[in-house]
Amino acid sequence: MTIHREGYQSIGIATLLFGIINVISFMFLSAEMPWLATTIFIVTLGLVLFIISFFRIPNRKLTVNPQQIICPADGKVVVI
The number of distinct structural domains making up the chain is 1
CB neighbours of 71 closer than 8 A, spacing ≥ 6? none
Ranges of H-type helices in 1-80: 8-29, 34-54
> In tens digits, what is the pLDDT along the chain, a chain of 80 residues?
788 888 899 999 999 999 999 999 999 998 899 999 999 999 999 999 999 998 888 777 777 888 887 776 666 666 66
Q: Is residue 74 in a domain?
A: no
Domain of 41 in residue numbering reads as 2-57
Rg (CA), the chain: 19
Q: Which of 27, 4, 15, 16 is nearest to 75 (CA)?
A: 4
Output the pTM of the full model: 0.72
Q: Please report whether residue 40 resides in a domain.
A: yes
How far is Cα 23 from Cα 29, in angstroms, rounded to an integer? 10
Which residues face 56 on adjacent strands? 3
